[in-house]
Chain A
Amino acid sequence: MIVNRRETWLGRVLLVLLMVVTVVPFLSLFVTALHPAGTYPSGLSWPESPQWGNFADAFRAADMGTLLLSSGLIVLGVVPISLLLGTMAGFAFGHLRVPGHRIGFVIFLLGLTLPFEGIITPLYYQIRDMGLLNTRWAIILPLIGLFMPFSVVWMRAHFVTMPDDLSEAARIDGAGTWQLFWRVHVPLAMPALSSLAILLFLWTWNQFLLAIVLVDDPAKRTMAGALGAFQGQWGTDIPLLCAGALLILVPTLAVFLIFQRRFVAALLQGSIKG
């Protein structure tokens, strides 16, 4: 490729600049978290004596162990069920092409753009009437419903690419529709499923609105929701707040760095399909 040297250098400088802008807020958060509690440190100054204990204090103040467990339980409730239901519906619309599958699909498609704020008010009263307010189910059940459009659209996009011959062969071998789905198609859908799982994990973990509206007790919320409460409680103690925010970032960052490649691919594909 003909690319002149000047452009290459300009590109490198720009890229580094953009990376610096991306990373500086994280650094600022980290450096601030090391200052003595209750102080108002300025900018990016390194503290004279780094207070590593702030992280332990924040861990205790935010009751981080409970929070991790709570978020974990919510993720465990949301992700597997969403995957299963989304895959089954995607299979029905994309591969079985049940009568009326187009209309069914369009109804899900329209749900993709729905802002959560659009339904939060009646959702509150509905959850209250179901007696689920202030339980983890108040977050789990609506999230499964809210993730359905994306999950169905995502899995359907996978199933329309699967050749019909494959199913015909399985049927001639005597497989029923359920066996066809479970034994043949689900194993083949693993790459699409794992990307979807990553996205759903992330969106559940970071869910804020449902958590603050439907659950009062921070210990039963998602991580993001709990962080909101933490800010309300410790908002004036900047170093402690920063330490708490960092601790809450760590799990998602860890998952991101471990599954990095799949993550980036999933998010890019996810926004294209969404």
Chain B
Amino acid sequence: MSAPATGRRVRRARRPRGAWLGWLFALPAVVMYATFVLRPLLLTVQYSLYDWNGIGASTWVGLDNYRRLFTDSELFASILHAFELILFFSLIPVLLGLFVAATIRGIAQSRLATVARTVLFLPQVIPLVAAGIMWSWLLSTTGLANELLSAVGLDSVTRAWLGDFDTALAAVGIIGAWVLVGLCTLLLLAGMSKIDPALYEAARLDGAGPVREFFSITLPSLRQEIGVCVTVTVIAALASFDIVYIATQGGPGNSTMVPGLEIYYLAFSEREVGMASALAVALVFLVLAVVLPLQRLTRDAR
């Protein structure tokens, strides 16, 4: 084999003829993504500038729909509710997950922990709809929650948790927390297994207690995992739909109305397609506005 021929072949291997042809591999994915995601996304933006009932002619209204988003108390409340749900969907699972993971670190390899890994995952595997049905029953007037409260002498606080204006949103939040706490715990535990045990040994020898240990070793080492937990759970909170649809349908009144459900009602029962689209655009931006800074935080830590 002559030298020039080899040279040509090597060059061909590095930069195959017509590198652009490689796009043929990406093309089918791009087509599906563009047709069923990007196109509807752009249309959402377009619809949001019109007043349209989905059937007749549409009228250009400019940014009116967006203005209504901030002035209509019902619509704005749905966005606030989504943020309130973050407390339950993100804060509780992450804090509880951190606490549990830190406490069971010592027994992470035991048989109990292996069983726990399976059990804690169950809520992640089932449809959210099923979680909603289970919990609607648990939180109902004759459900287990009230029975337990009566058993400890708290009859006075028993109520239909999902039907009460004061507690419905929190009750929905608890369902979300139940779904997400296992995932967070296991993610954080997996992160902890990557921390060098020597760090803990050193801390113990220096006389650090479990609390010091947690704040000076565990917490800083888990920045990335915490970032992931927060990102996943915040998206779940802001874009919640299934659980609310099944458990309360936004009620009582509008006390558990969230943007996802409001979009569904506006578009498909009230036939206010423009308004639904404006809320949808707002929701997409809201998620990006919360999630993108979080990504930066966790990337820097690496």
Contact = CB atoms under 8 A, between A and B. Distances in A.
A104 to B, nearest CB: 6
Contacts of B276: 121
Given A7-B103, A11-B107, A242-B137, A252 B126 contact: yes
Contacts of A148: 29, 32-33, 37
B142 A15 contact: no
Given A115-B287, A148-B37, A252 B127 contact: yes
B170 interface: no
Contact of B246 (A151, A228, A272): A228
A99 B37 contact: no
> Most chain-B CB neighbours within 10 Å: which of A14, A15, A151?
A15
A55 interface: no
A28 B138 contact: yes
Nearest to B99: A14
B187 interface: yes
A118 B283 contact: yes
A37 B145 CA distance: 22
A43 interface: yes
Contact of B37 (A113, A119, A248): A119
Interface in A28-55: 28-29, 32, 40-44
B207 to A, nearest CB: 12
B36 A144 contact: yes
Interface in A138-161: 141-142, 144-146, 148-149, 151-152
Given A98-B20, A117-B259, A274 B232 contact: yes
A18 B137 contact: no
Contacts of A248: 127, 130
Interface of B: 9-10, 12-14, 16, 19-23, 25-26, 28-30, 32-33, 35-37, 39-41, 43-44, 47, 54, 99-100, 103-107, 112-113, 115-131, 133-135, 137-138, 142-144, 146-148, 178, 181-183, 185-187, 190, 197, 200-201, 204, 210, 225, 228-229, 232, 235, 238-239, 241-242, 245-246, 259-260, 263-264, 267-268, 273, 276-277, 280-281, 283-284, 287-288, 291
A268 B130 contact: no
A249 interface: yes
A24 B147 CA distance: 13
A181 to B, nearest CB: 7
Contacts of A115: 235, 238-239, 260, 283-284, 287
Contacts, number: 307
A24 B129 CA distance: 17
Given A42-B142, A208-B241, A22 B123 contact: yes
A252 B125 contact: yes
A66 interface: no
**Chain B contact residues: helix, strand, loop or mixed:** helix
Contact of B119 (A23, A121, A151): A23
Contacts of B288: 110, 113
A219 interface: no
Given A115-B235, A264-B121, A120 B263 contact: yes
B33 A111 contact: yes
A22 B182 CA distance: 8
B73 to A, nearest CB: 21
Contacts of A271: 183, 187, 228-229, 232
Nearest to B259: A117
A113 B290 CA distance: 10
